[in-house]
Structure 1
Amino acid sequence: MTSHPYDALTPERVMDAVESLGYLCDARVFPLNSYENRVYQIGIEDQLPLIGKFYRPDRWSRQAIQEEHDFLAELAADDIPVVAPLQINGDSLFYSDPFSFALFPRRGGQAPELADDDDLELVGRWLGRLHQTGAGKSFIHRPHMNPTNDMAAAREQVLASDLMPEDYRSNYSALTTQLLELTEARMQTVSASSLRLHGDLHPGNLLLRDEVLYMVDFDDCVQGPAMQDIWMLLSGNEQEQRQQLLVIKEGYEMFRPFPARELPLIEVLRTLRIVRYAAWLCSRWHDPAFPVAFPWADSHRYWSEHILLLREQIAALQEDPIELPHY
């Protein structure tokens, strides 16, 4: 098995990197749940522990990571509850060959109960404020979402990989070709916004602590439509999702107009996530952590279920998009 740069990221290397910034570690280094990067809780002598994030080499440029940090600093300055990286002598991004890394204050908490309208309305409020700040300027080095192009690139990544069993390849190719056509047709009907976003705002990236709701993990922040930060908060059938959207809208519109014209993008963005997740597994399979964490990813069962999801998304994209009542 070929080695991976993370194989060399030992606890000693982590502590050396942190101590190079003037901290004294107490030898307690605990890995946290993260596959794309490596994240650790690091004990500090006579201080609270810190969180160290070591970015995957060659994924983002240093300019792109710095834009993430600058966005977080801007949000924090606007009193939006995010966890921004620590500034040390005016810098937030550091280097320990071959890793860029950053340190963050530790924040605990629990996921909000999105079935509770009060929690969901609170998420809507924070999203409205986040997007208000996000609309102030554009990313230069971070990705700009283009669902059709992004889906096509993910499709090619899967087809170029040998992770998918050969007997699914023809079916996958035909289904994703149809999905690309449906996606492009749907995109032609929507005038979407383009602003700086969290980009991956599923409930696991929301932490409720002492009645403050933190939005965490901006590693996938992008320039794109506001709906990208909304649709992953939805669950259940269409009627339930419509009610959830109304609650989010109530909080969101305290700060900016709700992007109702982007509702047709929900199934486009859901499809994109499904296709990109499979591509992500394919692209990371050389990382020794992935076969251990996702042992089913090369199985017939996984790809059979993936093909079924693609068929369901074809049906969803052929239906009328969800709408909200007009008052």
Structure 2
Amino acid sequence: MSDLIARALPVYGLAEDTPLTLLNRSENETWRAGPLILRLHRQGYHAKSEIASELAWLTALQDLPGLNAVKPVAGAQGLVTEVDGRFLVAFAPIGGQELQPGDDLARWFAPLGEITARLHLHARQWTPPPGFTRKRWDVETILGPNPHWGHWRQAQGLDPQGEALLARATDRLAATLNAYGTGPETFGLIHADLRLANLMVDGDRLTAIDFDDCGFGWWAYDLAAALSFYETDPRLPDLIARWVEGYTRIAPLRPGDRAMIPSLIFLRRVLLTAWLSTRADSDTAQGFGGPAYTQGTLVLADRYLTDGLSAFLP
């Protein structure tokens, strides 16, 4: 892939021999190229129109008071570059480092709640450009027969007993989410992947990056995504409370939305359980995947059936 990246560099005014560093291989590949960060999109996932739509929202978010978001950089072909049938996009680099599970997360979850609320307020009033298209994250596309990120039945280490347990739990989850609905008061344009790896910390500054999975989902799902990969961590109730505290300083959060937080956390966990199996070659799967993560999902499934994960309620 480095050869393909090198051929794209002149599009951004860079020499083909500009040093390249692979930063991450997850859903896509992220490269450092001189003064830019380049994202090489995985084939067959997003259409060019979807990528352009992501960058249209990101462009609209620039300089929004109280919100720091990664800045897209245009090349000679515009914001989306195509080389040999592959799509690339460029961003200005962000100072600092990614949040890590071992960091003092309690310090950052109220600011993250504020950032999330500002994103949602913007999305509620923004008029997207013609042709704007992004994926939906709903019951059908996460739990249905042909989900975006694969089916949870493919999870590593899932035995028949575990499959039966997860089937019961996801049936209840689907019924709960369908009753919650997808009206504009509960559902809209969200980041959908505000996990720690997509949050950069530089001093007191928190910046949201990687809007690659932004789309239409439940507003409170952005909190669930922020808890990705450590949903069984004992810090969760405190982190959820701090996120809600920050969010409600900027925008209201209805009692019904708060009540759905445990279900959305479980939904995200099921989604990631599937994703880790279908993207087993990614750096993320190497770090978090395997049968142990599936077993953690089954623990949450049992708790969800027992008490609805009531301990997570803010």
Q: Which residue is equivalent to 1:314?
A: 302
Q: What SS class does the counterpart of residue 32 from structure 1 fall into?
A: strand
Moved more, 107-116 or 26-35: 107-116
**Structure 2: runs of 5+ lacking an equivalent:** none
| Amino acid in the other structure paired with 1:306 | T
TM-score (norm 2): 0.80
CA contact (8 A) 1:143 1:223 kept: yes
Structure 1: distance between partners of 2:274 and 2:233:
28
Q: Using the TM superposition, give the Cα deviation of residue 122 of structure 1 relative to its aligned residue in structure 2, in angstroms.
A: 1.9
Structure 2: distance between partners of 1:211 and 1:88:
31
Match of 1:142 among 125, 130, 134: 134
Q: Using the TM superposition, give the Cα deviation of residue 38 of structure 1 relative to its aligned residue in structure 2, in angstroms.
A: 1.3
> CA 1:40/1:230 → structure 2, altered by over 3 Å: closer, same or farther?
same
* Equivalenced residues, count: 298
Match of 2:252 among 254, 257, 260: 257
Q: Which residue is equivalent to 2:113?
A: 124
Q: Which residue is equivalent to 1:12?
A: 3
Structure 2: distance between partners of 1:266 and 1:136:
24
Q: 1:74 and 2:60 equivalent?
A: yes
Q: Using the TM superposition, give the Cα deviation of residue 305 of structure 1 relative to its aligned residue in structure 2, in angstroms.
A: 5.4
Q: 1:181 and 2:176 equivalent?
A: no
Q: Which residue is equivalent to 2:95?
A: 108
> CA 1:252/1:279 → structure 2, altered by over 3 Å: closer, same or farther?
closer
CA contact (8 A) 1:54 1:100 kept: yes
Q: What SS class does the counterpart of residue 110 from structure 2 fall into?
A: helix
CA contact (8 A) 1:271 1:313 kept: yes
Coordinate RMSD, CA, aligned: 3.3
1:90-105 correspondence runs (5 A): 91-105=78-92
1:1-327 correspondence runs (5 A): 9=1, 11-43=2-34, 49-79=35-65, 80-88=67-75, 91-111=78-98, 113-117=103-107, 119-137=108-126, 141-147=133-139, 149-153=141-145, 154=147, 157=151, 159=153, 164=156, 168-190=158-180, 193-233=186-226, 241-285=236-280, 289-290=281-282, 294=286, 302-303=290-291, 306-307=294-295, 309-320=297-308, 321=310, 322-324=312-314
Moved more, 230-239 or 264-273: 230-239
Q: Using the TM superposition, give the Cα deviation of residue 212 of structure 1 relative to its aligned residue in structure 2, in angstroms.
A: 2.0
> CA 1:292/1:107 → structure 2, altered by over 3 Å: closer, same or farther?
closer
Structure 2: distance between partners of 1:152 and 1:87:
37
CA contact (8 A) 2:12 2:74 kept: no
CA contact (8 A) 1:148 1:183 kept: no
Structure 1: distance between partners of 2:177 and 2:31:
40
Structure 2: distance between partners of 1:308 and 1:292:
17
TM-score (norm 1): 0.77
> CA 1:16/1:239 → structure 2, altered by over 3 Å: closer, same or farther?
closer
Q: Deviations over 1:3-24 (max 9, x none)?
A: xxxxxx2x33212111134322
| Amino acid in the other structure paired with 2:216 | Q
Q: Using the TM superposition, give the Cα deviation of residue 65 of structure 1 relative to its aligned residue in structure 2, in angstroms.
A: 0.9
| Amino acid in the other structure paired with 1:69 | L
Structure 2: distance between partners of 1:110 and 1:183:
35
Structure 2: distance between partners of 1:29 and 1:170:
46
Q: Which residue is equivalent to 1:5?
A: none
Structure 2: distance between partners of 1:242 and 1:258:
17
> CA 1:237/1:151 → structure 2, altered by over 3 Å: closer, same or farther?
closer
Q: Which residue is equivalent to 1:3?
A: none
Q: Using the TM superposition, give the Cα deviation of residue 84 of structure 1 relative to its aligned residue in structure 2, in angstroms.
A: 2.2
| Amino acid in the other structure paired with 1:187 | L
Q: Which residue is equivalent to 1:4?
A: none
Q: Using the TM superposition, give the Cα deviation of residue 200 of structure 1 relative to its aligned residue in structure 2, in angstroms.
A: 1.0
| Amino acid in the other structure paired with 1:30 | T
Q: Using the TM superposition, give the Cα deviation of residue 264 of structure 1 relative to its aligned residue in structure 2, in angstroms.
A: 3.3
> CA 1:308/1:323 → structure 2, altered by over 3 Å: closer, same or farther?
closer
CA contact (8 A) 1:183 1:317 kept: no
| Amino acid in the other structure paired with 1:17 | A
Structure 2: distance between partners of 1:97 and 1:81:
33
Q: Using the TM superposition, give the Cα deviation of residue 282 of structure 1 relative to its aligned residue in structure 2, in angstroms.
A: 3.4
Structure 2: distance between partners of 1:83 and 1:308:
33
